[in-house]
Copies of this chain bind each other. A is one copy, B any other.
């Protein structure tokens, strides 16, 4: 059984997710439909890109990842199907694949024919009329060439995200994502941190890394080697975002602890 994952900003009070699933259930009846997240902030392409970056490689080869956060629906952005590491990604070419295509090179990228659903699509719901039919097509193992022509040079849109920088002893980075718990996920790779890092954010210094939340008291700040591969800042049993008044894109600096030998 093949898997189709679904990531949207459609919420769960309307029928939109249901319409997309109906198209998938009709056109790819053997696919297992897996909800990833539907409460992405409306129009937050970057938030959805972060999600895709976290989940895609956890699913087996052959999975189709359908992602529809599409504030430009019906406009100039290109609907695409992109193959990376033997998984397919289907959605608008607006940066949703930024993290995926940084991790692995694009093997194939096709512009989706707007008539793939069998009739002219609506102008405002390509999730149902264009992307779901394309995802079903691929999930059912049909010829990808029938999706549409190859994108020239395989070039897809990448969001201009901040990248970490090193200045002498210190690493400078940013908060990439604030999660449901209020944890701050940075772009500083765990592997690049000094052995005893001191983390500075928003005028506050976290003096050391903690292995787990239990290493600090309730309500206290901690920095940890994040499960996504980058440094995270959290508050035990609380929200680091609220506690520090910090949102996405806040700067973070890491230095070796004074006296620590690198």
| Residues of A that sit less than 8 Å from B by CB | 1, 3, 5, 7, 10-19, 21-23, 25-26, 29-30, 32-43, 47, 50-60, 63, 71-76, 122-125, 128-129, 177, 179-181, 211-215, 224-227, 232, 234, 236-237
Whether B60 lies near A180 (C-beta < 8 A) is: no
Residue of B nearest to A126 (CB): B227
Of the residues B12, B29, B214, contact of A1 by C-beta under 8 Å: B29
Distance to closest chain B CB from A193 (angstroms): 14
Q: Which residues of B contact A212 (CB under 8 A)?
A: 72-75, 123-124
Distance to closest chain B CB from A256 (angstroms): 21
Residue of B nearest to A229 (CB): B122
Cα of A180 to Cα of B57 in the assembled complex, Å = 30
Given contacts A13-B40, A14-B179, A15-B37, is CB(A227)–CB(B125) below 8 Å? Answer: yes
Q: Tell me the number of copies of this protein.
A: 3
Q: Which residues of B contact A19 (CB under 8 A)?
A: 54-55, 58
Whether B33 lies near A25 (C-beta < 8 A) is: no
Q: Which residues of B contact A74 (CB under 8 A)?
A: 211-214
Q: Which residues of B contact A17 (CB under 8 A)?
A: 35-37
Residue of B nearest to A226 (CB): B124
Distance to closest chain B CB from A6 (angstroms): 10
Cα of A165 to Cα of B92 in the assembled complex, Å = 38
Residue of B nearest to A121 (CB): B227
Distance to closest chain B CB from A72 (angstroms): 5
